[in-house]
Amino acid sequence: MVAPLDRTEPVDEGMVGRHRCRVQERFPDMQPHRQRQMAESFGTDPERYDRARPRYPEGLVEAVVARCPGREVLDVGCGTGIVARQFQAAGCRVLGVDVDERLADYARRTGVAVEVASFESWDPAGRICDAVVAGQTWHWVDPIAGAAKAADVLRPGGRLAVFWNVFLPPPHVAQALADAHRRAVPNSPFAAGATSGLDGYVLLATMAIDGIRQVGAFTDPVQWRFDWEQPYTRDEWLEQLSTSGEAGRLPPEKLADLLAATGDALDALGGTVSMPYATMTVTATRYAPS
């Protein structure tokens, strides 16, 4: 029985095209996978990273597993093993690949097999799998080279599924968090007061979709969406904020300012916040070789 999806959506070509044009105009050199310093900044405190980062909906894991020919899964950018352990719990055999030995070592200690390499340069040594997944990491992979490597290691009918947790704060929470950014780090894009992370997701999805299509080895991508919510105490929210890519770019004194300002904002909201999320997925199936 195929697991039901929260929501399945075709790729909105108009939305993707408009967003691609805006991004190319404003950021002609926008290539997150080339920002290696940021990409490799998450291993500073693996224990905190693993503790603070949100997990992914069980429905997503079930949907991927139900639509694959088998249970061999490759987790790209596995980090501390958050995604890998969720697929292991669903009965899969998982191999992780990550560039950071510190994160890989932590994942191994939790029972995940990991090989250290960038996905683009990783040597599969003839191994094939039923699913290639990437949680919150595909933007650190070259979108064309990554899709090509996924095609090389997937058996016919295997699935590529790349996904991101996107926060959708209520307006009053979004305003409070934006105000904190304006006080502490006014040049941050989060100081502009965006009400959700969906705009950023569209950029990442556009890059993933383009890469998959250019390789020509997959069915046309579709998008899945899973909506859920997670409560945070003040300290829990600050801890996850400290593991973000933004935090990794800030000097220690600026990060301290941001955490203090955000803590004050959460205190003013009563010390807790319930954060709605959407887990957004781009997925496609490997064609049989001709």
Q: Where are the domains of the chain?
A: 8-169+196-231+277-285
From CA 28, how far away is CA 32, in angstroms rounded?
A: 12
From CA 125, how far away is CA 115, in angstroms rounded?
A: 12
pLDDT 10s per residue in the chain (290 long)?
Answer: 566 677 776 766 655 555 444 444 443 444 554 454 554 555 578 999 999 999 999 999 999 999 999 999 999 999 999 999 999 999 999 999 999 999 999 999 999 999 999 999 999 999 999 999 999 999 999 999 999 999 999 999 999 999 999 999 999 999 999 999 999 999 887 877 655 678 788 889 999 999 999 999 999 999 999 999 999 999 999 999 999 888 888 899 999 999 999 999 999 999 999 999 999 999 999 998 66
Provide the whole-model pTM.
Answer: 0.88
The torsion angle over the Cα atoms of residues 259, 99, 153 and 221, rounded to 10 degrees, is 30
Q: CB of 218 within 8 A of CB of 160? A: yes
Looking at 3.40.50.1400, 3.40.50.150, 3.30.2350.10, 3.40.50.1370, the CATH number of the domain 8-169+196-231+277-285 comes to 3.40.50.150
The alpha helices in the chain, defined as continuous H runs, are 13-26, 36-39, 46-52, 58-66, 82-89, 101-109, 143-153, 171-184, 198-215, 234-241, 245-249, 252-268
From CA 52, how far away is CA 33, in angstroms rounded?
A: 23
